[in-house]
Amino acid sequence: MFILVILQINKREGVMEALTVLEMERLVSQIGPSLGCGDHTYDPMFPEGRNDVAVVRRMAENGHDYGFDTIYLMWKNSDGQIQHREIKNSRTTKDYICIDSVAIDKEGFVIVNLGSGGSYSGEVWNESARISIGQ
Name the pTM for this structure: 0.83
Confirm whether 37 is domain-assigned. Answer: yes
Give the span between the Cα atoms of 77 and 117, in whole angstroms: 34
Region of 95 please: left (phi>0), alpha (psi -120 to 50) or beta. beta
Confirm whether 11 is domain-assigned. Answer: no
Beta bridge partners of 128: 113
pLDDT in tens, the chain (135 residues): 333 343 333 333 445 678 899 999 999 988 888 898 889 999 999 999 988 899 999 999 988 889 999 999 998 877 788 889 999 999 999 999 999 999 998 888 899 999 999 988 999 999 999 988 654
DSSP character at residue 117: -
Beta bridge partners of 127: 114
Confirm whether 38 is domain-assigned. Answer: yes
Phi, psi of 101 (to 5 degrees): -165, 155
How many domains, the chain? Answer: 1
Give the span between the Cα atoms of 25 and 134, in whole angstroms: 25
Confirm whether 76 is domain-assigned. Answer: yes
Confirm whether 82 is domain-assigned. Answer: yes
Region of 62 please: left (phi>0), alpha (psi -120 to 50) or beta. alpha
In the chain, what is the straight-line distance between the N-terminal and C-terminal CA atoms, in Å? Answer: 21
Domain that holds residue 95: 21-132
Confirm whether 122 is domain-assigned. Answer: yes
Confirm whether 3 is domain-assigned. Answer: no
